[in-house]
Amino acid sequence: MTSTTRNPWWKRLAALVGVEIYRNGELAPSYDAELAAAGRYVFVHNDSVSRIDLVAKWLRQSFDLETRTAERTAGVIHLHGFAAMGPFSTEETEHRLERARTIASELGLSSLQFSREPPRSHDPRA
C-alpha cells in the first residue's frame, strides 16, 4: 500500500501546505527536516501584532491557497507558532519569498516573520 492510498485526499492536501492532521482532528505543522535544511520550505512564524485575517489573506496571495486552507493555516501559525509552506524547488522557494515580501508590504504586515529557517525547538515529525 502506498502512502497515497493510506492517506485520504484531504490529508495529502493539508500536507502540501505544511499541516499534519492528528487523529483527533487537531492541525499541527509538519515538514521534512532534510528538505528544510536544503532551504525548500518557507516557514511562517507567529507574531503578536499581525491580524489573523490579514495573515490568511497574505497566505492566499503568496501561496495560492484556497480561502479555507489559508484560514486554517493562519490558525495553525497562531496556535503552534509557525507553519511550513512547501516543499518547493530551490528556485520556487526564492520566488515565493520575494512574492511574500511584496505582498506583506502591500498589506502592511511589517511584523510578519517568514524565512527558510525552521523553528529551533520543533520536531519536524510533529
Q: pLDDT tens-digit profile of 5-51? A: 566 676 677 766 666 655 444 566 789 999 999 999 999 999 999 99
Q: Tell me the angle at which helices 52-63 and 90-107 cross, rounded to the nearest 10 degrees.
A: 140
Measured at the CA of 92, the angle between CA 113 and CA 94, to 5 degrees, comes to 45
CATH class of 3-115: alpha beta
Cα separation of 72 and 119, whole Å? 19
CB 47 within 8 A of CB 82: no
Q: What is the pLDDT of residue 79?
A: 87
Q: pLDDT tens-digit profile of 84-106? A: 999 999 999 999 999 999 999 99
Within 8 A by CB and 6+ apart from 64, the residues are none
The model's pTM is 0.76
CB 7 within 8 A of CB 1: no
Q: What is the pLDDT of residue 88?
A: 95
